[in-house]
Structure 1
């Protein structure tokens, strides 16, 4: 007979839990245990790590009271334990080690942006061998910096049909236009949210904030 226990409700993270929940190297494990309570053996197979490594990672989460035993399945000797992680956590900025709110945001955003830049560079190198920045006069008082290859701005890649974009732009908008743009972007994301059979993963990042960063 399999003995099961329910996962706890929404959890508020402590400082020790926050450090693990925000660890980007544990994201795959957390995602797995949130959706599919698993044994250590199943964790090892799914994440393609050694059984010892899987045991270490699961034990780390269990000791912090993040992963809990959700079922004990009978087998010869010791029962086989399934571990799960409650699917909803609130991680307050105040319990983390971040000194400021922007540092708190950057700790999660920068690793993803860095990974996106790595993927972007890989696709750029497939397009041309030589890359750099073109610094050109923009108007009477200023200049702009645009990524390009040796032949000029990279309009044929980023503005062409290839599914690759890496643009940072400053727009002058009214409050109404900014709200409309946000609504259109949200709707566009929703339109493409459902997985497409035979499709592949694409990473998309959009930030809309008041201020000039260009």
Structure 2
């Protein structure tokens, strides 16, 4: 199913729900039954079936019967492209819209980083200092050298750049991200990365 659809308010709420993302992504592939989807996602069959029925009622997912020995198999699928107009989203402002997609990712990063720091079982302190008119802070182990956190990275910085340099920075950054995406290795751990580059407001 390749056609692009325009979402209504009910569909927008479901399409933009981060918790449904893994299921929606699988529904855009080969049609599959509820049991197959539940196993792939590690979720109970009953709750997976309930969500599928809600998606069918909303007009997001099609339900078909595939003949087989005994009872036919109910299979589910959905178009892989949707357009969601801002006006039909639950967001009151553009900032709310951005937060709805970015906040869950940032929270996942914070949960993962805190879990690693907790496992290291050392005392953490916050160093604060002034630099170039900005008040900086850094969370670091109380002993040096501290435990190795690499390749885990958590860093924020403010730099003075021309628009040309900022564009070049963004281009090189995106190029590196694509390089890593193309070099993915099956069976290796998943590392999450989120980046924001914005001018000072």
**Structures share fold, TM-score greater than 0.5:** yes
SS at match of 1:168: coil
Displacement, 1:122? 1.4
Is 2:152 the partner of 1:164?
yes
Q: What's 1:148 paired with?
A: 140
Q: What's 2:9 paired with?
A: 15
Unaligned runs of 5+ residues in structure 2 are none
Task: Summarize the alignment of residues 1-214 of structure 1 with structure 2, pairs less than 5 Å apart.
Answer: 7=1, 9-69=3-63, 71-75=64-68, 78-138=71-131, 143-151=135-143, 157=148, 162-194=150-182, 195-211=184-200
Q: Which moved more, 1:11-20 or 1:40-49?
A: 40-49
Distance across 2 between alignment mates of 1:34 and 1:196: 23
Q: Structure 1 residues 35 and 113 mapped into 2: Cα distance closer, same or farther (>3 Å)?
A: same
Question: What is the TM-score of this pair, normalised by structure 1?
Answer: 0.85
Alignment size in residue pairs? 200
Distance across 2 between alignment mates of 1:90 and 1:197: 31
Distance across 1 between alignment mates of 2:87 and 2:162: 34
Q: Structure 1 residues 8 and 204 mapped into 2: Cα distance closer, same or farther (>3 Å)?
A: closer
Q: Cα RMSD over matched residues? A: 2.1
Distance across 2 between alignment mates of 1:178 and 1:201: 29
Unaligned runs of 5+ residues in structure 1 are 1-6
Distance across 2 between alignment mates of 1:12 and 1:130: 52
